Structure 1
Amino acid sequence: MTDSSPASSLIVGGAASSPRAPLPTLPPLALYIHIPWCVRKCPYCDFNSHTASPELPEQEYVDALLADLDQDLHAVYGRELSSIFFGGGTPSLFSAEALGRLLEGVEQRIPFAHDIEITLEANPGTFEQEKFVAYRKLGINRLSIGIQSFQQEKLKALGRIHNGDEAVRAADMARQAGFDNFNLDLMHGLPDQSLDDALSDLRQAIELKPTHISWYQLTLEPNTVFWNQPPVLPEDDTLWDIQEAGQALLAEHGYAQYEVSAYAQPGRPARHNLNYWSFGDFIGIGAGAHGKLSHPDGRIVRTWKTRLPKDYLNPAKNFQAGEKALTNDEMPFEFLMNALRLTAGVESRLYPERTGMPLESLEEQRREAEQSGLLQVEPSRLAATERGQLFLNDLLQSFLS
C-alpha cells in the first residue's frame, strides 16, 4: 500500500524529460481532525462514520490523535497552522474538555497562526447546542451546522434525528454563543422535493443570516443504504430548475458562489477549504483521515490513516495505513481537480509554485480544453468557463495523462 519513491522525472503525457523542481516555498499548512462517531448513520452518508456507543472513548481517542500527530511532525518543517477542521461523524459529540485537551496538545506541537480559523462540525440537536458556549471559549471560532433541510418529512427521509425547529434554534444559539462566522449545510434534490420545497429551505437558511452556506445536491453513493434502496429523486428538469433558481436567490441575498457548492458573504469563504482547493498542505489525523504534504525537495505525498476506530485505537496497529508520492504524470489532474472547483480558478503561477512542474507542461491539454469551451482563455489564470463548471468531469479528463 505504500509508495514513497521519488517522483518520476517525466512531465505530463510522456513529453520531453524534465525533472521536477524543488518547491520555492512550501504551501500553507492546515490540520484535519476526524472524529468518526455519530448518533446514527444517515442512509445517504458514505463518510467514515460509525454509530456511537453510550460511552465514547474520548480520553483514549484524544491520546491516539496526539500520538498520530507526533508521527507526522517530521513533515511540518517549522510551518504554522493556518486552519483546523474537526470533521466526522459528529465531532460535537465530544465534550469541550476533550476538545480543549486536544487543541492544547496540537498547539504545543505546531504553532497556530495569529488569525487561525478553527471549524467544528455540529448537529442542530439540543444536546450539541448546549455546548456551543464552551466550544467558543476553547478558541473554536467557526461552526458548520448540518441542517440538510428544515422540513420534517424531508428530514425523516434523510434519517436525520433533529427537527426543523431545532435547526432554527441552532443558528440562533451559535450566534448567541459568540460565533460570528458559521456555515449551514443544506441539501437539495431530496426525495420527492419540488422547486418550491427546495427554495423554501434555502429562504429559511438565508433568513438565519449565516456567513456561509454549503448547498449541494443529494447524490447516491456506493456502500450506503440509499445506494441499495434508492429513493425517488426529482427529475433532471426539476433538478436543473432548483439549481438555477437557488443560485439566483443566493446571489440576490449577497452569497457569492466561490466553489461548486459553496456560497459566502463577502470575506467569509472557508479558509480551510480554500487551502484544500488551492493545493495547500494538510495533515490528516484520526480514523480514516487523509493528508497531503509537500516536501522541500519537491516530493508531494498523500497519506491515509487506519479506517476503523477499533483498529485506530489498537496500539498494536499503525496509525498510517498507507502513503503515495505523486508522480509527474499525476500532478496536473491532482492539482486541477481541486483548483477548477473554484469559480474563479487560481492564478497560473500557483501551478509551478505548488507542484514544482513547469506551466508549459500543461500547454497542449490547456489549449484543447480552451478550444472545447471548457477552460477560460486567460494566460494568468487556470479557471473553468461556466460550461466547464457544469461539465467539470469532462474538463478534468483533458488533463489525465
Structure 2
Amino acid sequence: MRTPGALADAERWTAHNYHPLPVVIADAEGAWVTDVDGKRYLDFLSGYSALNFGHRHPGLVAAAHAQLDRLTLTSRAFVHDQFAEFCHRLADLCGKELVLPMNTGAEAVETGIKVARKWGYQVKGVPDGQAEIIVAADNFHGRTTTIISFSTDPDARNDFGPYTPGFTIVPYGDSDAIAAAITPNTVAVLLEPIQGEAGVLVPPAGYLAGVRQLCTDNNVLFIADEIQSGLGRTGKTFAIEHEGVVPDMYLLGKALGGGIVPVSAVAANKDVLGVLKPGEHGSTFGGNPLACAVGTAVVKLLETGEFQQRSAELGAKLHEGLNALVGRGVLAVRGRGLWAGVDIDSERMTGRQVSEKLAARGVLAKDTHGSTIRLAPPLTVTEADLDHALAQLAAIL
C-alpha cells in the first residue's frame, strides 16, 4: 500500500492550508481517477468545476501537446500567434467586444475590481479614492487580501487584516438590499449567479434580472463571477443566462483551462475594458501561448452547445435522484445542471463523514459548511456513472 506513505509525506512537507480526503491520485481519464494503489474513483468534484470536460479530454490534450512542441511563453511584451484567436472566440462566446486574459480565478476577480474602479473614476466621475463595490454575504471570489476583505467566511478572513476598504456587503438574493446600498459612488455590483462555496445556493427567481435593472438605472456595472458556475456547468454557457440576463462584465476561469493549465479572463465591452492603458495592469503568464491554445480548444467545445445540453439533461437526472433521497437522510437539494448542494441531516453525520464514506465506496465529493456536500461531476459523465454515485450515497444514508 503506497497511500499511507504518500499521505504522510504530504503532511510532512506541505503547509496545512487544506484538509484533503485520504486519497492519492496517480492517473485519470474522463470522469474516473485511479490512486497510487490502483483503486478507481468516480470524480464528483471535477476540481471545483475546473474539469468540466473531464480528465485528459483528448481534444484538449492534443491542443496542449501541439503547442508544447512550438511555443509556450512570450510574455505580453510580444504578440504570439495563438493570442488573437483565443480572445476573439472567447469574446464572441460571451457576446462582448474585448477579453483580458489572466491565469487564476482570483486574478480575474482582482482585474474586474480594478477595471470597475478605474471606470468609475474616468467614466462615471466618482471622486478619486471613493469608489464602492457592492458584494453579497457568503460569497467566495478567491483568497487574495483584497478579496478576503469582503468575505464573510471567518476561515477565509480572520487574522489576515488589515482589510481593503471600498466594499459594501448585503444579503445574497435580496435586490432591495442592493437598491438601498447603492450610492453615487457605487461603481459595480459583484455577484456569483449561483454561490458555489456557500453550498450551491441558487438565488430567488427574478433576483438577477432585478439586479441588472438596478445597475442599468443607476449607471453601475454588473459583474458576474462565472468562474465556477460558467462554461456549461449549469446547463447553459453561463449560469446568469437562466434569467436571460447579460452582465457588463464576465469573470471566467477554472474550466477555461480545460484542467490542463490555469487560464482566467475578463470579458466586457470597449467602454468598460477600454479604460485600461499600457502599463496599468498585466501578468507575465496571462494569455501565454499554451494557455491560449488550450483555451481556444475549450471555447470550440462550448461553441457546439453539446456540453451545455449534456449538463441540462444529465443534471435533471442527477437532481431527480438526489431529491428522491430527501427525507431519507437528505434535508434539501439545490443547484442547476450537473451541480448540486446536498444538505445532510446533521443528526446522522457531517458532510466530511459523508465525503469519507463516499470515498471508501469509490466516489469523490467534498463537504462545505458542516453538513453540506457539493456534487459537480464532469460534463462527460454517463448515466451509468450517475446511477452508481447516487446508489453509493443512498447506501451510506
- With normalisation by structure 1, the TM-score equals 0.30
Higher-RCO chain (CA-CA 8 Å, sequence separation at least 6): 2
In terms of fraction of residues, the more strand-rich structure is 1
- With normalisation by structure 2, the TM-score equals 0.30
